A and B are shown apart, each in its own frame.
Chain A
Amino acid sequence: MRNTLLSLLALAALAAPLSAQGSELKGKFFFKKTCKTCHTAGKPGKEVTPLTKTQAQWKAYFAANKHNKGKEKLGTGTDLKPEQMKDVMTFLVQHASDSPQPMTCGG
């Protein structure tokens, strides 16, 4: 048992954390809580889902940091912190139209 635990710890030590990646789970939560209030069918902003853009397009969009046709910065009018914006980007990129995530079942 002790040897097993030591082995697991050794493996964990070998696994260096990825650099500068947000949390997909948090990103999904904040995206739904904040962005979807407007970007839903029938609401002021047109419907936006991760499938709206490709991975490259999402990265470029967040890098440009422009929202509402360039009139304001991303996150304006929300209480999203920078790290939460990163989480949202991670979620959108990982589920973009050309992402390697498996397709959702039946829609």
Chain B
Amino acid sequence: MKSSRIMLALVAALAPVALSAQSNDDVHKQIEGLKQQIQALEEKADAAKDMDTRLTKVETKIAPDNIQWGGDLRTRIDSAEWHFKPYQAFMGFAQNPATGMPMPLTQQAPAQDWTNSVQWSTRLRLNMGITINEHAKIMGRLVMYKVHGGADVPVFNGSPNTVANSFNTGKVPSTDVLRVERASLVYHFPLGILSIGRQNTTDGPPFEVREGGEREATPQALAVNATIDGMGWKFELEKIGLPEGTLLGICYGVGYESGFGGGGLVKTNAAPVGFNFTNVDINTTTGQPNMSKAAMQVNSIGPLKDTTVLGAMYDMPLLFQIGETVQSANFYLGYNRFGNMTDIPFGSLTNFPVPSMPGVAGMPSTQYVTATNNLGDMDQWTATWKHRVGEQFTYFISGGYLKSHPNGKVSQYGAYWDFPAAYGGTQQLAGFGGLMGDPTSSHTATAYYTGMRWDPTEKIGVGVEFNHGSPRWFTYSPATGEYTEKLGARGDVWEGYIHWRFAKNAALRLGYIDYKYSHAFSGWQISPGAMPGQSWEDSYDLSKNPMLQYAFPATVKNTYAAIEVKF
């Protein structure tokens, strides 16, 4: 009994020690295990840090070294209705049976309605950015814009956007060729920014409001929306205390190069410019003119001077806070001097200058047109104010003023007659005319463009825009409405749209554009002169039965829907 108690006592005395020894072992083992785990974790952390450093180096190296691509793809469907008011269609000249002198041939054209209910188009734009070094980069944009199944070369219908040339690349539907819309070197010097090459001169402010994106070009859209080759220099005025991003710039561009490629070389050349109607007499049996006797008129052209654009711009962005709302505003001023303007720069089209007419010419064919005369200079001033109030509301207003300085010359495209030498010989009786419809006197024109956009949510934008142009208004924007003139309209244009960004970088756009043209020749810097006894404004008022070689619509109603994807 006593031994058992002693044994029990010994066990009781030794048990804690035994248990303690066992716990200590376990704890020690656990601690060692944890140490190993911690060491493994630290090694993994070091490896991850090393991987991050390596990846950062790779990303940083890759980002500027390669060409950075971006862009957008748009597929659009348009449905348009055109209404033409009655006009006198100019057909040419014929011999007056009584006098033998030229008499104009006209045919009363009734009011007409044209409908193009379905027109699909696809536009692909590829933006390129190449960083050369910390100061220099190359910026470019390639564009393909074509109508589904459409003809590659537009048929000339009197509208300037049916002449395909390098100025409307990417703005007017053409072929499936990928064209270079922009390609310029941009270099940041301490004193300012130099850009040289094919400039960012399309889709300028305030078009970014409608697009729901960032400003895309230097000149205001009401001034220039065409592809211009040239150079520009901008002083960064934040260095003298003005708001960050304020720029004062000058630019120089070439609108028509007469010395290379174009038909008007620096020396005299020749080109078809229309028809000579001297031999067109009246058929005594039918009483109709014998148009088959009209002959192609080939004239001497040149030497011509290059068309130049010399411009100045002032941009001032403002960013400020009122209460809890952050607002931004932009103020733009622009001046352009278009020097030595010509009639039609080098381009391609169908049926001009030799139209396909029964008995006169044969098949419609692709023809190349070129400038035939320098017509004078033009001064253009534009100003734009754009204000974004918080996240949801943006409005803008843009105004333009234009003044011509003609040099007395007219376009050589037209209708000709051979008079006796004593009466002046071969003379142009009718033609495309001079600068702003008057080759001898200066004229002015004005326009304004305003709009607003409301973004009730991050995904929906609703906007409305209006622009008005005076009867002689001209702006260098070949086809801002993309197949009719919007900002170049002589009249009123309304546009409403809904922009639904239904997914990241993808949007659906629904829109409606209503054009009301008051006068003919929207989009042209030239036009024929006034009719005898009439003012120019009355002569080409579309509501007053004007005499026109080509029909100009009085109204166009265009509904469109587009899927736009950015990448």
**Cross-interface CB contact of A100 among B59, B70, B459, cutoff 8 Å:** B70
Q: Which of B35-43, B210-218, B279-287, B438-446 contacts A (4 or more CB under 8 A)?
A: B210-218
Residues 320-360 of chain B, each 1 if its beta carbon lies under 8 Å from chain A, else 0: 11000010100000000000000000000000000000000
**Cross-interface CB contact of A102 among B63, B193, B214, cutoff 8 Å:** B214
**Whole-angstrom CA separation of A25 from B325 in the bound complex:** 10
Chain B residue with Cβ nearest A28: B319
Chain A binding surface SS class: loop
Chain A neighbourhood of B458, CB < 8 A: 15, 17-18, 21
CB–CB B214/A54 < 8 A: no
Q: How far is the CB of A42 from chain B (nearest CB, A)?
A: 11
Chain B neighbourhood of A23, CB < 8 A: 326, 391
Residues 81-107 of chain A, each 1 if its beta carbon lies under 8 Å from chain B, else 0: 000000000000000011111111111
Q: How far is the CB of B56 from chain A (nearest CB, A)?
A: 7
Closest 4 CB pairs of A and B: A15-B459, A107-B193, A105-B200, A106-B195
Chain A neighbourhood of B328, CB < 8 A: 25, 28-29
Q: How far is the CB of B175 from chain A (nearest CB, A)?
A: 24
**Cross-interface CB contact of B216 among A29, A97, A102, A107, cutoff 8 Å:** A102
**Cross-interface CB contact of B460 among A11, A98, A103, cutoff 8 Å:** A11
CB–CB A107/B244 < 8 A: no
Chain B neighbourhood of A32, CB < 8 A: 244, 319
**Whole-angstrom CA separation of A100 from B125 in the bound complex:** 12
Question: Which of A15, A57, A101, A105 has the most B CB atoms < 10 Å from its CB?
Answer: A105
Chain B neighbourhood of A106, CB < 8 A: 184, 186, 193, 195, 199-200, 218, 232, 234, 249
**Cross-interface CB contact of A107 among B186, B320, B388, B391, cutoff 8 Å:** B186
Query: Can you list 6 A-B pairs with a CB-CB distance of less than 8 A?
Result: A11-B500, A28-B328, A60-B52, A101-B214, A103-B139, A106-B234
Chain B residue with Cβ nearest A25: B326
CB–CB B188/A29 < 8 A: no
Q: A17-B459, A21-B458, A107-B186 are in contact. Are A97 and B63 (CB under 8 A)?
A: yes
**B567 on the A face (CB < 8 A):** yes
**B462 on the A face (CB < 8 A):** yes
**A8 on the B face (CB < 8 A):** yes
**Whole-angstrom CA separation of A33 from B268 in the bound complex:** 61
**Whole-angstrom CA separation of A25 from B131 in the bound complex:** 26
Chain B neighbourhood of A17, CB < 8 A: 457-459
**Whole-angstrom CA separation of A56 from B199 in the bound complex:** 30
Chain A neighbourhood of B200, CB < 8 A: 103, 105-106
Q: A12-B457, A15-B460, A100-B505 are in contact. Are A54 and B326 (CB under 8 A)?
A: no
**B498 on the A face (CB < 8 A):** yes
**Whole-angstrom CA separation of A74 from B535 in the bound complex:** 70
Chain A neighbourhood of B56, CB < 8 A: 57
Chain B neighbourhood of A12, CB < 8 A: 456-457, 460
**B502 on the A face (CB < 8 A):** yes
Chain A neighbourhood of B60, CB < 8 A: 57
Chain A residue with Cβ nearest B236: A107
Q: How far is the CB of B541 from chain A (nearest CB, A)?
A: 33
Chain A neighbourhood of B391, CB < 8 A: 23, 25
Question: Which of A16, A21, A32, A107 has the most B CB atoms < 10 Å from its CB?
Answer: A107
Chain B neighbourhood of A56, CB < 8 A: 59
Q: A12-B456, A25-B328 are in contact. Are A98 and B498 (CB under 8 A)?
A: no
Chain B neighbourhood of A8, CB < 8 A: 462, 498
**B158 on the A face (CB < 8 A):** no
Q: A17-B459, A23-B391, A106-B193 are in contact. Are A100 and B567 (CB under 8 A)?
A: yes
**Whole-angstrom CA separation of A107 from B499 in the bound complex:** 28
